[in-house]
């Protein structure tokens, strides 16, 4: 009995030997411990993210309208039928194009404004910097829906201060396609530039000041310093904020829905997300809505893969 | 602190621009609060003035009387609060697992958390609607809480990873030497150290949940006692004549808690973000 015990615990007989990790240290833990920690997350994500994604794909291959939802007719498999219908619809291509162009405009404007203000922040003293930071945090914190209502009110044809200030009379911003998109763009840039500004500012602060001073002493202009010194050093951060912006702006829903009243006059301001919603919940064409959702999912997946590649190339360890 | 010592006039001009931009950025919020306090006659005026001499609470009163705004506010608070607590705890455990352990499929999992962040949540409204219907959860706050926990998790895990990583492993070894169990180390040592990160992460889950409009619109279809703030706000949009005073008062009520939350955690948020991004 005793010999057996001793044989099983060689460390007891050889105290100076390296102590094997008790109760599972960072290395040599019981193999199921991390999975135990991951369990709640995996259950929630599996049930409410992975399974719905699977369902989304499934519905997009079915005939699924009000009749099937209420149980009046059996669901039937349609194969790629929904996708054929969708791709044959000129409105889909129009909405897709509008979504891509509008998201691109939002991303470019947001990044330009955010980066310019981040550079500006490094050139001023504490008080003005604090003022801009506080204002930006306010815009950032504002819920999309209240931000939308406020901006619509600011640009209201009858009672808004903007038209008054610009002398535009009773010009309606939401009536025309492009002015309505412009109005939404203002709101989107207003609430998303703070993330870019704060992040890029933090990145600039992390650049050793000697580098920037040396560039300034060499007589480099502010633009030149940004382009040749800051931007290359900030590359990893710029990649993150760019990708995040693309993902956010491609998925816009609330702003378009609220500001253009569900997609604008005759759907002129529809973007994919709102389009899918209208198809599914306004016209009960759940399978078409799901097909649009799948298209969005695939596009965003492609963006993610590019992101991962860029991260890999930067040698980031996961 | 400025890294660049530039000529003074240049800096003064930069500071003037900064203050102007700050004022412009703050203007919409100022206008929202101002309009909420304006008497009806001044709001529906074609000559809007950037001040008011006779502030009134009429709009707020209307919002709280016509609509059960108090109840919606409470509902929003319950939903956001539950999501913040649940997702923080679940994400903390998961982040610990992927940073403090080496195991098979670890990298795969991390990539999946990243990919999960990109899923357009809005596209999942359709399957989630049917899921909630089959589970009998439509018209309940649970139908809003559950999906939001799921959607906050990937980003929260990804962000917390940096904070957990920052805690030196020597601390864990020391705790073991001192005889602390793994559970004890997790909750009494690691948890307090990672807490600032949890706060920063919570801001994001709080805001995305508090702001949610699509799920509230799609899942709370008939029982308005379960509505959250965004839906209540839309009632004031009328096809013919928008009640701007009511909309602005409602918007103010909805925005202020987030602003307060943001200001409270602002310092941690900015440093936390820096950490998460640089990590």
CB contact under 8 A, A145 and B263: no
Start-to-end CA span in chain A (Å) = 48
Please check the confidence at residue B279 and state whether its pLDDT lies above 80.
no
How many C-beta atoms lie closer than 10 Å to residue A266's C-beta?
8
Distances (CA, A) of A15 to A3, A26, B272: 17, 22, 44
A198 vs B contacts (CB less than 8 Å): 270, 273
Quote the tokens at residue B174: 């020391």
**What pLDDT score was predicted for residue B252?**
93
A304 vs B contacts (CB less than 8 Å): 114-115, 118
**What pLDDT score was predicted for residue A282?**
86
Separation between Cα atoms, residue A122 and residue A129, nearest integer Å: 8
Distances (CA, A) of A212 to A113, A140, A206, A235, B3: 21, 29, 11, 16, 7
Our count of domains for chain A comes to 1
Quote the tokens at residue B51: 């001040």
Residue A41 domain-assigned?
no
SS3 B135: coil
Q: What is the pLDDT of residues B164-184, one digit of tens each?
A: 888 888 888 888 888 888 888
Nearest to A40 among B90, B111, B233 (CB): B90
Separation between Cα atoms, residue B15 and residue B21, nearest integer Å: 10
Residues of chain A with pLDDT under 70: 1-29, 315-318
Residue A35 domain-assigned?
no
Instruction: Give the residue from chain A lying closest to B119, CA to CA.
Output: A297
Separation between Cα atoms, residue B222 and residue A45, nearest integer Å: 28
Separation between Cα atoms, residue A52 and residue A50, nearest integer Å: 6
CB contact under 8 A, A258 and B234: yes
CATH of the domain at A170: 1.10.3720.10
B93 vs A contacts (CB less than 8 Å): 37-38, 40-41
Distances (CA, A) of A76 to A56, A65, A287: 15, 11, 11
Nearest to A153 among B35, B98, B127 (CB): B35
B interface mutation test: which of A44, A165, A215, A273 has the most B CBs within 10 A? A44
**What pLDDT score was predicted for residue A79?**
83
Q: What is the pLDDT of residues B58-79, one digit of tens each?
A: 888 888 887 778 888 899 999 9
A134 vs B contacts (CB less than 8 Å): 22, 26
Instruction: Give the residue from chain A lying closest to B87, CA to CA.
Output: A41
Element (H or E) spanning A213, and its range? Answer: helix A209-217
Q: What is the pLDDT of residues A206-229, one digit of tens each?
A: 888 888 888 888 888 888 888 888
Separation between Cα atoms, residue A253 and residue A128, nearest integer Å: 34
Among residues A35, A161, A200, the alpha carbon closest in space to that of B43 is found at: A161
**What pLDDT score was predicted for residue A83?**
93
Separation between Cα atoms, residue A133 and residue A128, nearest integer Å: 9
ipTM for the predicted complex comes to 0.83
Separation between Cα atoms, residue B22 and residue B44, nearest integer Å: 28
Q: What are the two backbone dihedrals, phi and then psi, of residue A62, each rounded to the nearest 5 degrees? A: -110, 165
CB contact under 8 A, A128 and B131: no
Separation between Cα atoms, residue A252 and residue A93, nearest integer Å: 17
Separation between Cα atoms, residue A12 and residue B163, nearest integer Å: 38
CB contact under 8 A, B127 and A59: yes
Q: What is the pLDDT of residues B188-231, one digit of tens each?
A: 888 988 888 888 788 888 888 988 888 888 888 888 788 888 88
Minimal C-alpha gap between B194 and chain A (Å): 16
Separation between Cα atoms, residue A144 and residue A188, nearest integer Å: 9
A125 vs B contacts (CB less than 8 Å): 2, 11, 15
Instruction: Give the residue from chain A lying closest to B254, CA to CA.
Output: A146
Residues 6+ apart with CB under 8 A from B222: B139
Distances (CA, A) of A34 to A25, A166, A256, B112: 11, 61, 42, 16
**What pLDDT score was predicted for residue B276?**
45
Nearest to B251 among A51, A146, A250 (CB): A146
SS3 B241: coil
Question: Which residue bears the tokens 């602060």?
Answer: A205
A278 vs B contacts (CB less than 8 Å): none
Minimal C-alpha gap between B154 and chain A (Å): 8
Minimal C-alpha gap between A5 and chain B (Å): 23
**What residue segments make up the domains of chain B, in order of their start?**
8-56, 68-278
Nearest to B169 among A26, A55, A134 (CB): A26
Q: Mark out the alpha helices in chain B (DSSP H runs).
A: 8-37, 40-43, 58-66, 69-100, 106-118, 125-134, 142-166, 169-177, 182-184, 191-211, 214-219, 229-234, 244-278
Strand A76-77 and strand A62-63: pairing?
A: antiparallel
Q: Is CATH 3.40.640.10 the classification given to domain B68-278?
A: no
Separation between Cα atoms, residue A80 and residue A103, nearest integer Å: 28
**What pLDDT score was predicted for residue B87?**
95
The residue range of the domain holding A245 is 81-313
Residue A260 domain-assigned?
yes
Nearest to B107 among A198, A236, A318 (CB): A318
| Interface size, chain A vs chain B, as Cβ–Cβ contacts under 8 Å | 311
Quote the tokens at residue B256: 């202020």
Residue A29 domain-assigned?
no
**What pLDDT score was predicted for residue A76?**
80
Burial call B246-278: b when 16+ CB within 10 Å, e when fewer: bbbbbbbbbbebbbebbeebbebbbebbbbbbe
Burial of A209 (0-12, 13-18, 19+ CB in 10 A): middle
Separation between Cα atoms, residue B269 and residue B240, nearest integer Å: 42
CB contact under 8 A, A280 and B125: yes
CB contact under 8 A, B4 and A122: yes
Instruction: Give the residue from chain B lying closest to A69, CA to CA.
Output: B130
A59 vs B contacts (CB less than 8 Å): 126-127, 130
CB contact under 8 A, A131 and B22: yes
Residue A46 domain-assigned?
no
Separation between Cα atoms, residue A195 and residue A192, nearest integer Å: 6
Q: What is the pLDDT of residues A290-306, one digit of tens each?
A: 999 999 999 998 988 88
A128 vs B contacts (CB less than 8 Å): 15, 18-19, 22
Among residues A25, A309, A35, the alpha carbon closest in space to that of B104 is found at: A35
Separation between Cα atoms, residue A302 and residue A294, nearest integer Å: 12
Please check the confidence at residue B238 and state whether its pLDDT lies above 80.
no
Residue A263 domain-assigned?
yes
């Amino acid at each position: 009995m005793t010999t057996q015990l001793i044989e099983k615990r060689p460390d007891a007989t050889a105290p100076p030997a390296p102590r094997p990790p008790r109760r599972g240290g960072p290395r040599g833990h019981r193999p199921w411990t991390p999975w135990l920690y991951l369990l709640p997350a995996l259950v929630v994500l599996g049930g409410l993210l992975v399974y719905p994604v699977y369902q989304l794909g499934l519905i997009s291959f079915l005939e699924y309208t009000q009749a099937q939802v209420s149980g009046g007719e059996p669901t039937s498999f349609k194969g790629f039928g929904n996708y054929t219908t969708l791709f044959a619809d000129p409105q889909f291509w129009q909405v897709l194009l509008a979504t891509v162009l509008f998201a691109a405009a939002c991303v470019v404007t947001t990044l330009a404004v955010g980066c310019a203000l981040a550079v500006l922040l490094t050139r001023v003293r504490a008080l003005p910097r604090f003022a801009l930071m506080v204002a930006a945090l306010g815009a950032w914190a504002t819920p999309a829906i209240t931000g939308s209502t406020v901006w619509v009110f600011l640009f209201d044809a009858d009672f808004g201060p903007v038209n008054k200030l610009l002398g535009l009379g009773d010009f309606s911003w939401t009536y025309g396609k492009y002015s309505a998109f412009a109005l939404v763009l203002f709101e989107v840039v207003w609430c998303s530039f703070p993330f870019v500004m704060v992040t890029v500012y933090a990145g600039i602060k992390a650049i050793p000041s000697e580098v920037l001073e040396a560039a300034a002493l060499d007589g480099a202009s502010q633009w030149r310093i940004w382009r040749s010194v800051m931007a290359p050093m900030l590359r990893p951060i710029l990649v993150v904020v760019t990708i995040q912006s693309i993902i956010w702006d491609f998925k816009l829903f609330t702003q378009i829905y609220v500001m253009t009243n569900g997609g604008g006059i005759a759907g002129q301001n529809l973007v994919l997300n709102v389009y899918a919603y209208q198809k599914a919940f306004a016209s009960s064409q759940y399978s078409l809505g799901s097909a649009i959702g799948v298209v969005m999912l695939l596009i965003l997946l492609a963006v993610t893969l590019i992101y991962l590649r860029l991260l890999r190339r930067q040698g980031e360890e996961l | 602190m400025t890294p660049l010592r530039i000529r003074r006039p240049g800096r003064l001009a930069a500071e003037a621009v900064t203050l102007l931009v700050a004022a412009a950025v703050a203007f919409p919020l100022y206008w929202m609060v101002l309009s909420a306090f304006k008497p009806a006659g001044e709001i529906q005026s074609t000559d809007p003035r950037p001040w008011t001499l006779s502030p009134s609470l009429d709009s707020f009163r209307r919002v709280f009387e016509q609509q059960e705004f108090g109840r919606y506010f409470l509902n929003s608070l319950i939903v956001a609060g539950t999501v913040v607590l649940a997702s923080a705890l679940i994400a903390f455990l998961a982040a610990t697992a992927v940073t403090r352990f080496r195991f098979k499929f670890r990298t795969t999992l991390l990539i999946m958390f990243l990919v999960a962040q990109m899923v357009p949540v809005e596209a999942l409204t359709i399957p989630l609607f049917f899921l909630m219907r089959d589970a009998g959860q439509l018209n309940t706050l649970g139908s809003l809480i559950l999906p939001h926990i799921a959607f906050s998790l990937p980003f929260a895990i990804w962000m917390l990873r940096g904070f957990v990583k920052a805690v030196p492993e020597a601390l864990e070894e020391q705790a073991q030497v001192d005889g602390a169990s793994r559970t004890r180390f997790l909750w009494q040592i690691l948890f307090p150290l990672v807490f600032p990160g949890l706060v920063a992460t919570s801001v994001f889950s709080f805001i995305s949940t508090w702001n949610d409009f699509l799920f509230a619109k799609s899942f709370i279809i008939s029982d308005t006692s379960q509505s959250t703030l965004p839906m209540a706000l839309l009632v004031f949009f009328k096809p013919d004549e928008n009640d701007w005073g009511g909309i602005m008062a409602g918007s103010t009520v909805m925005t202020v808690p987030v602003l307060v939350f943001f200001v409270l955690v602002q310092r941690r948020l900015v440093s936390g973000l820096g950490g998460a991004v640089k990590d």
